[in-house]
């Protein structure tokens, strides 16, 4: 089914539940082509579920999800494949294969979905590793890398096929403040350089303000507001301002152990 709209990605009146646990009862959200939209909300509000519904890993009970005019929520696996080739996802844990080298990990989606020569694959792997600031580590194994380096390798794999859309599921979770800042800088620079559309799910408020063009907040199983980041930051809505203060307090608490942060950043 096609859908006439100026919006690139749309969730319209989506409902989703797992048993008695209702995740969304009226989720509506529009994403513009080329923007970085950050989706904020407390843990357990279903932020990651939204991303997985977009790529068909989870189906909604009701409502519609459109990608570039095509309704994706009812598509069968075979018809989802062309859409998934345009959308890449950076999973929260990175999801690297420990038995493969860094180069093999990054090349994996190219070998699975595209018919490219070994020379072209090697060139793309090298190019993307340089883009994330890790040149020349193709032969290393994920187990030899720090947490921040593993996240950057996973990001290189997510962009190796030059997707139109990149989905970030809690990209800074588990990272120290310096690596969090580094990943946030990469999200912004990659969006500018590759001109892709980015959806970032996070509860890290500092990272959110750094990478976002617009910010959407989940509240009580629906989107409460979608605002440019400057308007979001200045919002007088107590549900938004209280959330920002709570997240800033949480970030400040994590910074109380600067020695550990420095040790991690040097790995």
Q: What is the pLDDT of residue 131?
A: 94
> Is the confidence at residue 238, as pLDDT, over 90?
yes
Number of neighbours of residue 33 by Cβ within 10 angstroms: 14
Helical segments of the chain, H only? 47-54, 77-84, 102-113, 118-131, 147-159, 177-194, 205-211, 229-233, 238-254, 258-265
In the chain, % of residues over pLDDT 90? 66
pTM exceeds 0.75, yes or no: yes
Average pLDDT, integer, range 176-189: 91
Cα–Cα distance for residue pair 178/1, rounded to 1 Å:
45
**What pLDDT digit, counting tens, does each position of 111-141 carry?**
988 889 999 999 999 999 999 999 999 999 9
Number of neighbours of residue 231 by Cβ within 10 angstroms: 13
Structural domains in the chain?
Answer: 1-86+213-267 (3.40.50.300)
**CA distance from start to end of the chain:** 49
Residue 218 CB partners (closer than 8 Å, separation 6+): 39, 40, 41, 45, 46, 47, 224
Average pLDDT, integer, range 142-161: 93
Among residues 140, 48, 71, the alpha carbon closest in space to that of 103 is found at: 140
Which conformational region is residue 64 in: left (phi greater than 0), alpha (psi within -120 to 50 degrees), or beta? Answer: beta
Residue 128's Cβ-count burial label (10 Å; 0-12, 13-18, 19+) is buried
Average pLDDT, integer, range 171-178: 87
Cα–Cα distance for residue pair 143/18, rounded to 1 Å:
35
Cα–Cα distance for residue pair 62/40, rounded to 1 Å:
23
> Is the confidence at residue 250, as pLDDT, over 80?
no
**What pLDDT digit, counting tens, does each position of 83-118 carry?**
988 999 998 877 899 999 999 999 999 998 888 999
Identify the band that residue 253 occupies on the pLDDT scale cut at 50, 70 and 90: low
**What pLDDT digit, counting tens, does each position of 188-228 carry?**
999 888 889 999 998 888 899 999 999 999 998 999 999 99
**Cα dihedral: 172, 177, 183, 184 (round 10):** 90
> What's CA 64's distance to the chain center, in Å?
21
**What pLDDT digit, counting tens, does each position of 39-55 carry?**
998 777 788 899 999 99
Q: What is the pLDDT of residue 266?
A: 40
Residue 18 CB partners (closer than 8 Å, separation 6+): none
């Amino acid at each position: 089914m096609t859908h006439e709209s100026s919006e690139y990605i749309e969730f319209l009146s989506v409902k989703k539940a797992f048993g008695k646990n209702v995740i969304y009862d009226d989720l509506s959200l529009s994403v513009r082509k080329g923007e970085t939209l950050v989706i904020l909300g407390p843990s357990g509000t279903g932020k990651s579920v939204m991303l997985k519904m977009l790529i068909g890993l989870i189906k909604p009970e009701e409502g519609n999800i459109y990608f570039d005019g095509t309704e994706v929520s009812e598509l069968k696996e075979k018809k989802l494949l062309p859409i998934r080739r345009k959308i890449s996802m950076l999973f929260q844990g990175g999801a690297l294969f420990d038995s493969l080298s860094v180069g093999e990990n990054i090349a994996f989606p190219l070998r699975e979905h595209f018919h490219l020569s070994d020379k072209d694959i090697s060139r793309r792997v090298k190019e993307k590793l340089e883009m994330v600031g890790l040149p020349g580590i193709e032969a290393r194994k994920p187990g030899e890398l720090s947490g921040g380096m593993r996240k950057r390798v996973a990001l290189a794999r997510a962009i190796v096929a030059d997707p139109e859309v990149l989905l970030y599921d809690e990209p800074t979770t588990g990272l120290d403040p310096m690596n969090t800042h580094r990943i946030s800088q990469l999200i912004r620079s990659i969006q500018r350089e590759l001109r892709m559309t980015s959806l970032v799910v996070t509860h890290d408020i500092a990272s959110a303000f750094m990478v976002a063009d617009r910010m959407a907040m989940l509240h009580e199983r629906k989107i409460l507001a979608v605002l440019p980041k400057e308007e979001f930051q200045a919002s007088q809505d107590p549900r938004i301002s209280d959330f920002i203060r709570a997240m800033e307090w949480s970030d400040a608490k994590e910074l109380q152990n600067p020695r550990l942060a420095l040790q991690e950043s040097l790995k």
